Structure 1
């Protein structure tokens, strides 16, 4: 009977750590939203992805605490990852765009309403204002009021000149 008490206490500790870590991560996301002036709906998507990741890790720890054999757990996770891997390989650009989206959210200096120039080559540039940074695409509004949509994985690879940032520094 004492064995179950220890497992219950360990489970409660893992759940408490999950809740605390989730709160810390959500606060970081909220601060990033405010600092980069990103649309709130974007934060919802990032929170869902990070919450799923944290919940999965928490679930694995709880399964280990309650005696699921690590070899059985690894076989199950390996099977799941194989199926997901095949699905993502078929949709490689989907995974690439989601990963790029998270990188843009946390580390990219461009934010909403910034005027930018994307240097495509010597003779071709894209110029516009960032009107949306989504999970898969970044949307620019050009000077002639048309919209250009760039996949996040392409956007993150391009050389970008931020006109707004240069203007505000002067």
Structure 2
């Protein structure tokens, strides 16, 4: 039926169809972003992720959806698939280099997600990261868990018989918790502090 229309009208019909397809792609990308953002909020509510992790996840998801929509729009505008594939390969290569360059940072972010999903410890828990089964390691009260570090507040023994915070903190990379053994104390505050500040007795020499 389109062939029966005048040549000028056929040209405008093709233009209108292309514009309609572009608008449809934009609409679908917008709807997909809303769905992904809603899914991210549900995951955040279920696993109680830190507040600053939510905007980052939304930003990454939005960038991926926008990039896919842009490629589809360019394809509908007549850009060659070979050109698109070459551009995509170039961006993928740059992204791979950046990924390996930032591997240590990304591993800490991934370990932060594992900490909140597997729940080996929580805020206000008292933990100790051991070098091995015998040597004492980093220990204190967990006061913060962010994308890169877990912050421990050190506890000191007061000569008068009490225990108190030293005012110093330890910032431990999140990935370290999956490379070392960890001790976690349970119980009331006083008993936990007493165990934290009591030095480990050395075994008598033979």
TM-score > 0.5, shorter chain as reference: yes
Q: TM-score, normalised by structure 2?
A: 0.64
In structure 2, the CA distance between the partners of 1:91 and 1:28, relative to structure 1 (3 Å rule), is closer
Partner residue, 1:155: 177
In structure 2, the CA distance between the partners of 1:71 and 1:140, relative to structure 1 (3 Å rule), is farther
Q: TM-score, normalised by structure 1?
A: 0.75
CA contact (8 A) 1:115 1:127 kept: yes
Aligned mates of 1:160, 1:141 — CA distance in 2? 16
Report the aligned-residue RMSD: 2.6
| Residues 1:43 and 2:51 are matched in the alignment | yes
Query: Structure 1: which 5+ residue stretches go unaligned?
Result: none
Structure with the bigger RCO (C-alpha within 8 Å, sep 6+) is 1
| Residues 1:59 and 2:81 are matched in the alignment | no
Please report how far the alpha carbon of residue 17 of structure 1 lies from its aligned counterpart in structure 2 after TM superposition.
1.8
Query: Structure 2: which 5+ residue stretches go unaligned?
Result: 1-15, 157-165, 189-206
Q: What is the number of residues matched between the two proteins?
A: 158
CA contact (8 A) 2:25 2:73 kept: no
CA contact (8 A) 1:64 1:70 kept: no
In structure 2, the CA distance between the partners of 1:67 and 1:84, relative to structure 1 (3 Å rule), is closer
